[in-house]
């Protein structure tokens, strides 16, 4: 349907222009169709082809049928005024509407992107809260459970107090499990904001290791170097790796020995937390949300580091992280996928195209009218030049001569139209009278340009010869 409309509408414009040359009341119809073609059709080629074919057909018709040359001026007016000009105005209208629509779309997309950005910031804050709750509270609750477990093993503790310690241990384990459920609600799957700029207030790795050892964890710790000059995001990631690894060791193997090594170098920091296999005694069932290691991978990746966490051959667990001193943004897909809005250069280009359409709508019809008029004038001069009758030959003609005697003195061509000469004498009466017209001169800038000789024949004989002076 679209292809048929793209063909039928230009053809309808061409037909209406052709009819407008014969009957001017078709000109408004041609103008309306041409305007609709400019508004509806984005491509220029169909309309340009229509006007080119129309102009070529008109020139060819004027050459083949000389009598049609008198319609040249009317064709120029109809083709330019009722065809080309309305079409260009329609294109300008189309471009102005497209520009307005692009502006509104850009505004809507910018507003949508602002909402998405705000939503992304909200999700990042939710994820930050979830990580902090998991890292800080989970670690503290695990230390409480560890202390309660150590208290139940004290030999001089009364049985009621031992039962209270067991209840405290179970309550801490249940709190860790409920905390994991809360973390699962707050975390979002599409969150990538792991590199928080603000770390915990107690972000000293040495203090963290000391508190874990004081809580009863069998810990051997070694810190080499200093974090001086280390970016805050990297220092924070180091703290969180140590904290999460100790929390996991406390929850899953509280009686196993743990080795913690933190090495600060000129290139960054290396963290390794390894715990041996748990003893035969059952470990407390503390549960967990399952987001700890995933969060660690996310944090380390956010600063351009690498993290490995895997069981060892002897049944223990090893966590190793390498963090560069210069944080790097990890490669990956964008967090929020949005439809690209029209850029400011694109809008400026659209405005330039609109101004160009307006200039074309004003200049092209005028240039086309001038070109068609000049072509018509040039063709008229060519025809007039070929139909000039020598004044001496005209003076030698006698009324009553046979046409066969007259024609050898005449030019090979005659004027294809009847000259518009005011107050010209009427031709001789009679239905069988035929008159031919010849030009007096082909020179434009002489007084006699436009004058014509009229030779009328009846029954093959010359019955009148007149000079039609304009």
DSSP 179-194: HHHHHHHH--TT----
**pLDDT score for 191:** 44
Q: Give 357 or 222, the one with higher predicted confidence.
A: 222
**pLDDT score for 107:** 77
Cα atoms found within 13 Å of the Cα of residue 217, Cβ hemisphere only = 33
**pLDDT score for 279:** 60
| Helical axes 232-252 vs 205-214, angle rounded to 10° | 10
**pLDDT score for 162:** 73
**pLDDT score for 193:** 42
Domain borders along the chain are 2-110+345-385, 387-468
Bridge-based pairing state of the strands 258-265 and 461-468 = unpaired
Angle subtended at Cα 194 by Cα 189 and Cα 196, rounded to the nearest 5 degrees: 140
d(Cα 205, Cα 270) in Å, to the nearest integer? 13
The predicted-structure confidence for 98-153, as pLDDT tens digits, reads as follows 777 777 777 788 888 888 887 777 777 667 666 666 666 766 777 777 777 777 77
Cα atoms found within 13 Å of the Cα of residue 312, Cβ hemisphere only = 13
**pLDDT score for 288:** 43
Other beta carbons less than 10 A from residue 312's beta carbon: 12
d(Cα 299, Cα 237) in Å, to the nearest integer? 6
In angstroms, the Cα distances linking 427 to 335, 419, 440, 456, 463 are 92, 13, 18, 7, 10
- Joined together, the tokens standing for residue 250 give 């406390």
Query: What does the mean pLDDT of the chain come to?
Result: 75
**pLDDT score for 455:** 93
What confidence tier does 187 reach under pLDDT thresholds 50, 70, 90? low
Q: Give 389 or 430, the one with higher predicted confidence.
A: 389
Q: Give 144 or 195, the one with higher predicted confidence.
A: 144
**pLDDT score for 135:** 66
Q: Name the nearest CA neighbour of 154 among 101, 216, 94.
A: 216
Q: How large a percentage of the chain has pLDDT more than 70?
A: 73
| Start-to-end C-alpha separation, the chain | 56
Angle subtended at Cα 85 by Cα 82 and Cα 90, rounded to the nearest 5 degrees: 105
Mean pLDDT on 325-352: 56
Residue that the structure tokens 């030959």 belong to: 393
- CATH of region 387-468: 3.10.450.730
**pLDDT score for 151:** 73
**pLDDT score for 283:** 41
**pLDDT score for 202:** 42
d(Cα 398, Cα 412) in Å, to the nearest integer? 20
What confidence tier does 342 reach under pLDDT thresholds 50, 70, 90? low
What confidence tier does 446 reach under pLDDT thresholds 50, 70, 90? confident
């Amino acid at each position: 349907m679209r292809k048929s409309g793209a063909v039928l509408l230009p053809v309808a414009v061409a037909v209406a222009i052709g009819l407008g040359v014969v009957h001017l009341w078709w000109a408004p119809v041609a103008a309306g169709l041409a305007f609709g073609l400019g508004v509806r059709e984005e491509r220029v080629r169909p309309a340009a082809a229509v006007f080119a074919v129309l102009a070529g057909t008109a020139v060819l018709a004027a050459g083949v049928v000389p009598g049609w040359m008198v319609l040249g001026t009317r064709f120029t007016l109809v083709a330019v005024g009722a065809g080309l000009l309305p079409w260009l105005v329609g294109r300008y209208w189309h471009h102005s509407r497209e520009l307005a629509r692009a502006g509104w779309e850009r505004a809507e997309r910018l507003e949508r992107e602002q909402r998405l950005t705000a939503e992304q910031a909200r999700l990042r804050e939710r994820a930050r809260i979830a990580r902090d709750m998991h890292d800080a509270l989970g670690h503290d609750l695990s230390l409480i459970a560890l202390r309660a477990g150590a208290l139940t093993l004290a030999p001089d503790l009364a049985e009621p107090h031992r039962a209270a310690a067991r209840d405290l241990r179970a309550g801490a384990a249940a709190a860790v499990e409920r905390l994991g459920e809360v973390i699962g609600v707050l975390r979002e799957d599409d969150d990538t904001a792991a590199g928080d700029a603000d770390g915990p207030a107690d972000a000293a790795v040495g203090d963290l290791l000391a508190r874990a050892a004081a809580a009863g964890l069998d810990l051997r710790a070694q810190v080499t170097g200093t974090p001086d000059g280390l970016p805050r995001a990297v220092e924070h990631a180091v703290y969180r790796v140590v904290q999460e690894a100790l929390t996991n060791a406390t929850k899953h193997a509280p009686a196993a020995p743990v080795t913690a090594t933190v090495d600060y170098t000129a290139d960054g920091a290396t963290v390794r937390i390894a715990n041996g296999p748990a003893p035969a005694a059952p470990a407390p069932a503390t549960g967990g949300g399952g987001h700890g290691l995933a969060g660690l991978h996310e944090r380390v990746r956010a600063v351009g580091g690498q993290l490995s966490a895997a069981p060892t051959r002897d049944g223990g667990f090893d966590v190793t992280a390498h963090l560069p001193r210069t944080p790097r943004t990890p490669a990956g897909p964008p967090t929020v996928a949005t439809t690209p809005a029209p850029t400011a250069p694109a809008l400026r280009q659209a405005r330039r195209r609109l101004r160009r359409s307006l200039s074309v709508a004003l200049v092209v019809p005028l240039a086309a009218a001038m070109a068609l008029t000049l072509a018509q004038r040039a063709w008229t001069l060519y025809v007039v030049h070929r139909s000039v009758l020598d004044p001496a030959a005209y003076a030698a003609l006698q009324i009553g001569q046979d046409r066969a005697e007259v024609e050898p003195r005449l030019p090979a061509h005659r004027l294809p139209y009847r000259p518009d000469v005011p107050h010209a004498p009427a031709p001789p009466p009679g239905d069988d009278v035929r008159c031919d017209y010849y030009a007096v001169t082909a020179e434009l800038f002489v007084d006699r340009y436009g004058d014509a000789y009229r030779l009328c024949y009846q029954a093959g004989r010359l019955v009148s010869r007149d000079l039609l002076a304009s």
